[in-house]
Amino acid sequence: MREQRSIVQNIDWPLLVIYIALVTMGWLNIYAAVYDPENISLFDLDMQYGKQAMFIGICALVGTVILFTDGKLFPTFSFWIYAFMMVLLVATIFLGKEVKGSHSWLNIGGGFSLQPAELAKFSTCLALARYLGEINIKMDKLQTRLISAALILLPVIIILMQNETGLAIVYFSFVFVLYREGLPGGFLLLGFAVALLFILSLLVEKTILFAIIGAAAILVFMFFGKRRFSRLLRVAAVAGMAVAFTFSVNYIFTKVLKPHQSIRINALLGKIDESNRKIAEKGILYNVNQSKIAIGSGGLVGKGWTKGTQTKYDFVPEQDTDFIFCTVGEEWGFIGSSAVLLLFMTLILRIIYIAERQKAPFTRIYAYGVASILMFHLMVNVGMTLGLMPVIGIPLPFFSYGGSSLLGFTILLFILIRLDSYRMQIL
Amino acid sequence: MKQLSSRQYVIAGLVVAICLTYIGRLFFIQIVDDKYKIMSVNNAIRRIVDYPPRGVIYDRTGKLLVANQAAYDLMVIPNQVKDCDTTELCRLINIDTKGFNDRFAKLKKQKHPWYQPAVFEGQLSGKAYAALQEKLYDFQGFYVQARTIRNYPKNVGAHLLGYVGEVSEKIVKDSSYYLMGDYIGLSGIEKSYEVPLRGIRGVRHVEKDVFNRERAAFADGRFDTLGIAGVDLTSSIDLDLQEYGEKLMRNKIGSIVAIEPATGEILALVSSPTYDPNLLVGHERSKNYVVLLRDTMKPLFNRALMASYPPGSTFKIANALVGQEIGVVTPDTRYSCNRGFSAGGVHVGCHAHASPVDLKFSITTSCNAYYCNVFRSIVEHYKPSEAGYRTWRDYIMSFGFGAKLPSDLPNELRGNVPSAEYYNKMYGKGRWKALSVISLGIGQGEMGVTPLQMANYTATLANRGWYILPHAIKKVGDKPIGVYNPKFGEKHYTKVQKKYFDVVVDAMANVMTNGTGRIAQIDSVVLGGKTGTAQNPHGKDHSIFICFGPVANPKIAIAVYVENAGFGATWAAPIASLMIEKYLKGKTKRPEMEKRMMEGVVLPVYENKTSATPVDE
Ligand SMILES: [Zn+2]
Q: Is A145 helix (H, G, I), strand (E, B) or coil?
A: helix
In a domain, B138, yes or no: no
Q: Does B608 touch chain A (CB under 8 A)?
A: no
In a domain, B317, yes or no: yes
For residue B407, the domain's CATH number is: 3.40.710.10
At residue A107, what are phi and psi to the nearest 5 degrees? -75, 125
The alpha-carbon gap from B297 to the nearest alpha carbon of chain A, in Å, equals 35
Domain boundaries, chain A: 2-183+278-425, 191-256
User: What ipTM score was computed for the predicted complex, to two decimals?
Assistant: 0.84
Lowest mean pLDDT among A77-91, A306-320, B355-369: A306-320
User: What DSSP character marks residue B418?
Assistant: -
Lowest mean pLDDT among A98-107, A144-153, A201-210, B109-118: A201-210
* pLDDT average, residue stretch A32-53: 71
List CB contacts of B6: < 8 A, sequence separation 6 or more: none
Q: Which of A103, A264, A293, A376 to mutate: most B Cβ within 10 Å? A: A293
In a domain, B323, yes or no: yes
Q: Does B39 touch chain A (CB under 8 A)?
A: yes
Residue A353 pLDDT = 94
Number of domains within chain B: 2
Is B22 in Cβ contact with A383 (below 8 Å)? yes
Describe the strand order of the beta sheet including A97-99 as a list of residue ranges. A97-99, A102-107, A113-114
Q: Does A100 touch chain B (CB under 8 A)?
A: yes
Give, in order, the Cα–Cα distances in Å from B327 to each of A201, B321, B496, B519, B582.
53, 10, 11, 34, 40
pTM of the model: 0.68
The alpha-carbon gap from A200 to the nearest alpha carbon of chain B, in Å, equals 21
Residue A275 has its nearest CB partner, among B21, B30, B231, at B231
Residues B166, B262 share a domain: no
Residue B46 pLDDT = 73
| Total number of residues shown for chain A | 427
Residues B317, B402 share a domain: yes
Residues on chain A touching B22 (C-beta within 8 angstroms): 341, 382-383, 386, 388
Residue B19 has its nearest CB partner, among A99, A341, A388, at A341
In a domain, B371, yes or no: yes
Is B115 in Cβ contact with A309 (below 8 Å)? yes
Residues B245, B148 share a domain: no
With bands split at pLDDT 50, 70 and 90, how would you rate the model's confidence at B324? very high
For residue B66, the domain's CATH number is: 3.90.1310.10
Residues B453, B415 share a domain: yes
The alpha-carbon gap from A88 to the nearest alpha carbon of chain B, in Å, equals 23
Residue A4 has pLDDT above 70, yes or no: no
Residues B323, B369 share a domain: yes
Task: Write out the H or E segment, with its range, that includes residue B530.
Answer: strand B528-534
Q: Residue window 188-217, chain B: list those with CB within 8 Å of chain A.
A: 195-196, 199-203
Q: Higher model confidence: residue A256 or residue B229?
A: B229
In a domain, B81, yes or no: no
* Gap from CA of B340 to ligand 1 centroid (Å): 5
Of the CA atoms within 13 Å of residue B129, those in its CB half-sphere come to: 16
Q: Which residue of B has its CA nearest to A35?
A: B113
Residues B426, B350 share a domain: yes
pLDDT tens digits for range A376-418 = 999 989 988 887 777 777 899 998 988 899 999 999 999 999 9
In a domain, B190, yes or no: yes
Task: Evaluate whether A316 touches A295 at the Cβ level (below 8 Å).
Answer: no
Residues B324, B190 share a domain: no
Residue B217 pLDDT = 72
The alpha-carbon gap from B202 to the nearest alpha carbon of chain A, in Å, equals 7
**Domain residue limits at B434:** 239-275+301-599
Residues on chain B touching A99 (C-beta within 8 angstroms): 174
Residues B252, B148 share a domain: no
Residue B59 has pLDDT above 90, yes or no: yes
Residues B227, B353 share a domain: no
Residues B253, B224 share a domain: no
Terminal alpha carbon distance of chain A: 22
pLDDT tens digits for range B455-480 = 999 999 999 999 999 999 999 988 89
Nearest residue to B51 (alpha-carbon basis) of B76, B36, B68, B66: B68
Residues B271, B224 share a domain: no
Residues B267, B193 share a domain: no
Is A388 in Cβ contact with B30 (below 8 Å)? no
Nearest residue to A325 (alpha-carbon basis) of A267, A263, A394, A276: A394
Is B487 in Cβ contact with A267 (below 8 Å)? no
User: What DSSP character marks residue A254?
Assistant: I
